[in-house]
Amino acid sequence: MNAIFKACVRHQAKMCIPALQWGEVAGELRKRLGALVGRRALESLLPFELDVVSASAERAVHAAALRVDRKIPYADAFGLNLAMDSAEHILVTADYGFKEVADLARIEFLPAK
């Protein structure tokens, strides 16, 4: 994951995250660090070529189809949906539940949580 952040800082790569997962990150940071420090930590991530992708109606419907057809959590379906947008996109995760849908997108698994 460090290599990904470094590539983004050097403008050699760009990260995107669905708004639903961004909200999950925000909640986790708030829970672990408190409101003020959590908000600062969240804001510090934005300069790293991070694009927060809104949940359009089309994305929501596609994510719902993935949730039903592939039996994955709805929020995870948004991440998978985003990875499926382009052959250049890579879903980077430590969630090994994504192994079940690895046939749909490029997925790079980090060491276990």
Cβ within 8 Å of residue 14, ≥6 positions away = 8, 49, 50, 51
pLDDT digits (tens, 9 = 90+) for 18-38: 999 899 989 999 999 999 999
pLDDT digits (tens, 9 = 90+) for 73-98: 999 999 999 999 999 899 999 999 99
Kindly give the interhelix angle for 19-33 and 35-45, rounded to the nearest 10 degrees.
140
Q: pTM of the entire structure?
A: 0.81
